[in-house]
Structure 1
């Protein structure tokens, strides 16, 4: 399954239907683990509801904690409600200004979107206080959770597909020295930066893995995702917008960890 806007109708779970009542739901995203996001309404009063099916490994409770912490420092969705039942979890948030960096407008004109992703990620890293952050996303913590049985090898990129589990673990054991410790987004792929119509970044969404780590943990994924969403040639412009030169060793390491991280 490829993450993106659902092309076919999706069933609304009973818990989500109970939360939104008679409000009209528009499905806007389905992730690779079966999680769904709907938009309610439009304009400044729009809201979003996310749902994670039971057994998917997605924890919206973790995201609630991180959103409430990060909202004091940077534009992220405001939590309006959260709950769970035997079928899964739901999370209701207020909308932020702007549209996703993979909105059709920006897919047709990637330059401003890529610049906004880089600038927005730098602003996020500069704004969130490492010393006050209670969440850990460090390479050490993530590698400790990797087991051969937990590797979703069907999701590995082509550059890692030929590696055996033992080879993956051996490479991950050699953690690069930290360049700069920041509070990372945790899923800095292009869709999770929002842009205003003038091309400026306006906020970040999907912060369920937010935590302290080397900034290259975010940069590796953010640059990688430009190829998935816009095609080749956009990695360096993103790094330029962030204000940093490429680091091939850290890029390669954190991309492998992204594939292996359960």
Structure 2
């Protein structure tokens, strides 16, 4: 019997892979205060799903195209009289609303909207697993390749220019990586919870990391533990898997905060 014949094994591999990619990327989201950008990108993916279903093409491709288009549009317009948060709010909610309306017009297409909104990790197929891990490896390679430049651009635009680094280019690299993570994470935690998987492990790791690299590794560990423990808890208690994974991540954040307070109290 092939080990991948088990739906639980496929689900575990998918959750583990998404956590490995989302957590280090989430560190940059936290450092750059881009939490709303991550959430807006995830919301916009519903429009990508609707377009992919309309043209009978890959959902991964549809979501990736829409998220990259939104990132490019926001980057282009943000310096031309529009505030970043305003642009994100308008585009995210507009894309979400248009996507939901477009889905309702689809004829002859059976769609489980709840699965896209909250994830359906237990339904991950072999092909889905392949797509997930291709996306995960792509994101990890991209972060490894641009790590130093991304850190420099995150610290200061002036410092980046002095080092010969274009901050806008690094912003686009992050946008591409974020688009890929959103596209592969939809099956795992769904559109509405992707931002949580990006932000919570990184936020939980922050008090215990003395260096950016250490924070990324700790965040990846917390994300992986959340995915595995959340999957197990959902199986035992018969709860929705995606929300359960996020609940475990939130519990890790609370526990980390309490440990940090206790350490500070003891040191004081």
User: What interval of TM-score do these two structures reach, taking the shorter chain for normalisation?
Assistant: under 0.3
TM-score, reference length from structure 1: 0.26
Tell me: higher relative CO, structure 1 or 2? Use CA pairs within 8 A at least 6 residues apart: 2
More helix by share: 2
TM-score, reference length from structure 2: 0.26
